[in-house]
């Protein structure tokens, strides 16, 4: 019987502790406060940002969605971010990606001050991760952090395990590789140039797919031993317009030891990580 | 017949172009100038720093070895580095590792200004590497860069190849993994917690060993097809006191397609990379 790695029980547990932490911070005069910058009206971005706000408010934190015009000038955009960076009441800020064309050249990892960079994209935060030297003022990128939490809370052993990550983005693949190497996994990073991908995915303990191709991974990618764990980071739309992951869930379900569903797997963990980072930023403000 | 990947022909070729570049810089009024900070009298460090100075001078660049007492106070050490960072005649500076105990807690990657950090250890340089966004003002860590150059100059294909890196240090393993992923290799990072290492090394195209264990890799780690390429980053001493790599060279020589010797393989390439970086720093000074 395959195990479904639902985020809900883990989320419930963490939400409880985040509520407690948030209450304690408020008693000390600090209300955790996140600004989410949303440029334009991309439907997926609207949903993502609304979910982030909703979860912030659920644990007792403040969240403003700063909605900006698709056509905003670069100078105006940078002024708004500068104000947020300087606002001492704001603990944290994230920029919802993607950005429109006129802002696309910006080095978004540096726009937010590192102390407020709860997305963990700032060079200082990435460096702390790669050098395995994370301090309380550093933030780990939310999706990798959420995947780690989901695995740890489900008692999935990481040390010594062979983990194949498909995808090498700066948002998932690369930081996740560093995080899992630091947790003593043997990590292989695959991508569009990888040859014989199936041979590689068949010979590992855990597969993490972050490629953005609907139902790409099916049983032909899996070990015949039915003992692998699948972490599906994909958020795609299938031919029927339904949300689905990178993994053909129904096809592989009986061929794996455990699998994250889409929706209800990695996605909600990303938001949980974001709010964990937000509360960490608030605690840092308190200790200043 | 196995190919020996000697550094000498590659080094000869690059030295020629470095000499030309150096001459051109001097004609424009700039003499490339490296400071090497050496604390104490560790015998290996004495040899390494002397070799670096010798090669700088060979191509026409200046190199000072700043020899400091093993017992230097932290404040004094930091003052010296500060002076070098501010010295507009000095293009580049490296700190020879290891540092003595009283300096060991220092975050050595941040001590040298990023513009002079030709070792590529500064967070900004590491970030540029991991995000595959290297600009002319960024420097790639010397050993990874030297390995890449040695492979490229020997027409070893990297894209699509399965490369296993043994070792996860910030000096070799991790930056090399990023560099090779960016060059479209499928990279696996192994380390002391890896299980069934032999099974992993047998199933790849290229093995890079950076673990510091004399003659650790023997034919039992290799594919029976005798078609693998071995890059040996180790600089160890064998039971007879002879310099040797991580790989038992005599044992594997007839079982591989190509292998780097120790000495004469990766080691000299590291120095070549350092001086390439130095000249790049000088060119950056010129363009200011």
pTM, rounded to two decimals: 0.97
The bridge status of strand B243-244 relative to strand B236-237 is: antiparallel
* Residue A152 scores a pLDDT above 80: yes
Residue pair B268/B48 in contact by the 8 Å Cβ criterion: no
Task: Collect all residues of chain A within an 8 Å Cβ-Cβ radius of residue B184.
Answer: 191, 193
Give the β-pairing of B206-209 and A236-237. unpaired
Residue A1 clears pLDDT 80, i.e. is over it? no
> What pLDDT score was predicted for residue B24?
97
B124 touching chain A per CB within 8 A:
yes
Tokens coding B37: 């900070």
Residue A181's pLDDT is 98
DSSP string covering B91-150: -EEEEPSPPPGGGTTS-HHHHS-GGG-TT--SHHHHHHHHTT---TT----HHHHHHHHH
| Cβ-Cβ contacts under 8 Å, A162 against chain B | 195, 200
Q: How far, in Å, CA of B9 to CA of B22, rounded?
A: 20
Distance, in angstroms, between A123 CA and closest chain B CA? 6
Give the per-residue pLDDT at A88.
Answer: 96
Q: Print the SS3 string covering chain A.
A: CCEECCCHHHHHHHHHHHHHHHHHHHHCCCCCEEEEEEECCCHHHHHHHHHHHHHHHHHCCEEEEEEECCCCCHHHHHHHHHHHHHCCCCCEEEECCCCCHHHCCCCHHHHCCHHHCCCCCCHHHHHHHHCCCCCCCCCCCHHHHHHHHHHHHCCCCCCCCEEEEECCCCCCHHHHHHHHHHCCCEEEEECCCCCCHHHHHHCCCEEEECCCCCCCECHHHCCCCCCCEEEECCCEECCCCCEECCECHHHHHHHCCEECCCCCCHHHHHHHHHHHHHHHHHHHHHCC
Phi/psi of residue B15, each to 5°? -60, -40
Mean pLDDT on B8-32: 97
Q: What pLDDT, in 10s, does the model give residues A10-55?
A: 999 999 999 999 999 999 999 999 999 999 999 999 999 999 999 9
**Which chain B positions have a beta carbon within 8 Å of A203's beta carbon?**
203
- Nearest chain B CA: its distance from A204 CA (Å): 10
CB-CB: which of B126, B130, B189 is closest to A181?
Answer: B189
Q: Give the model's pLDDT for residue B97.
A: 93
The mean per-residue pLDDT over the stretch A186-197 comes to 98
Contacts with B, A 215-274, CB within 8 Å: none
Mean pLDDT of all residues in B221-242: 96
For residue B268, is pLDDT > 80?
Answer: yes
- Mean pLDDT over each residue of chain A, to the nearest integer: 97
Q: Cβ of A130 and B194 within 8 Å?
A: no
Query: Taking the CA of residue A34 as centre, how many other CA atoms within 13 Å lie in the half-sphere pointing to its CB?
Result: 32
| A185 interaction partners in chain B (CB closer than 8 Å) | 193
pLDDT digits (tens, 9 = 90+) for B123-156: 999 999 999 999 999 999 999 999 999 999 999 9
Asked if B152 is an interface residue toward chain A (Cβ–Cβ < 8 A), one would say no
Q: Does B145 touch chain A (CB under 8 A)?
A: no
Q: Tell me the domains of chain B and their CATH numbers.
A: 29-113 (3.40.50.10860), 142-266 (3.40.50.720)
The model's confidence at residue A287, banded by pLDDT at 50, 70 and 90, is confident
Q: What residues of chain A lie within 8 A of the CB of B186, using their CB? A: 188-191, 193-195, 200
pLDDT reading at B9 higher than 80: yes
At A86, give phi and psi (nearest 5°). -90, -10
pLDDT range class, residue B1, cuts 50, 70, 90: confident
Q: What is the ipTM of this complex?
A: 0.96
pLDDT at A187 over 80: yes
Q: Specify the pLDDT at position B27.
A: 96
> Inter-axis angle of helices B266-286 and B43-59, to 10 degrees?
50
Tell me: the pLDDT tens digits for A260-286? 999 999 999 999 999 999 999 999 998
Q: Tell me the mean pLDDT in the region A107-130.
A: 97
**DSSP-assigned beta bridge partners for residue B163:** B187, B206
- Contact in structure between B229 and B156 (CB atoms under 8 Å): yes
Given B174, B184, B186, which is nearest A130 (Cβ)? Answer: B174
Strands B229-232 and B258-259: parallel
- The reported pLDDT for the residue numbered A80 is 98
Which residue in the set A127, A193, A200 is minimally distant from B159, CB to CB? A193
User: Are residues A87 and A115 in contact, defined by beta-carbon separation less than 8 angstroms?
Assistant: no
User: Is the Cα torsion angle A98, A99, A102, A106 positive or negative in sign?
Assistant: negative
- Hey, is the C-beta of A114 within 8 angstroms of any chain B C-beta? no
CA dihedral (B13, B16, B18, B20) in degrees, to 10, reads -150
Q: Measured between alpha carbons, how far is A131 from B169 in angstroms, rounded to an integer?
A: 8
| Contact call for residues A89 and A29 (beta carbons, < 8 A) | no
Mean pLDDT of B216-229: 98
Answer whether B123 touches A (CB < 8 Å).
yes
Closest partner CB to B127 (pick from A123, A189, A193): A123
pLDDT at A213 over 80: yes
Q: A172 at the B interface (CB within 8 A)?
A: no
pLDDT of residue A216: 98
CA angle A242, A243, A245 (to 5 degrees): 130
Judged on CB neighbours under 10 Å (0-12, 13-18, 19+), B59 is: buried
């Amino acid at each position: 019987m395959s195990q479904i790695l639902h985020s809900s029980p883990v989320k419930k547990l963490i939400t409880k502790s985040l509520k407690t932490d948030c209450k304690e911070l408020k008693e000390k005069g600090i209300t955790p406060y996140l600004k989410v910058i949303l440029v334009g009206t991309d439907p997926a971005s609207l949903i993502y940002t609304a979910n982030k706000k909703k979860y912030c408010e659920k644990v007792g934190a403040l969240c403003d969605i700063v909605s900006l015009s698709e056509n905003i000038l670069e100078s105006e955009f940078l002024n708004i971010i500068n104000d947020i960076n300087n606002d001492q009441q704001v603990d944290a800020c994230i920029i919802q990606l993607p950005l429109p064309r006129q802002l696309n050249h910006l080095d978004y990892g540096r726009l937010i001050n590192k102390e407020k960079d709860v997305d963990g994209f700032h060079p200082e935060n990435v460096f702390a991760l790669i050098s395995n030297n994370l301090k309380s003022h550093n933030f780990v990128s939310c999706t990798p952090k959420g995947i780690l939490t989901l695995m740890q809370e489900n008692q999935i052993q990481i040390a010594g395990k062979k983990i194949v990550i498909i995808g090498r983005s700066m948002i998932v693949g690369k930081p996740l590789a560093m995080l899992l190497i630091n947790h003593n996994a043997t990590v292989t990073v695959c991508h569009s140039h990888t040859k014989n991908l199936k041979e590689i995915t068949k010979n590992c303990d855990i597969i993490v797919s972050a490629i953005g191709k609907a139902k790409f991974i099916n049983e032909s990618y899996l070990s015949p031993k039915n003992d692998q764990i699948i972490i599906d980071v994909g958020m795609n739309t299938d031919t029927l317009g339904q949300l689905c992951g990178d993994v053909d869930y129904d096809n592989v379900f009986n061929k794996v030891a455990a699998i994250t569903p889409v929706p209800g797997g990695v996605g909600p963990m990303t938001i949980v990580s974001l709010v964990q980072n937000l509360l960490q930023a608030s605690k840092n403000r308190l200790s200043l």
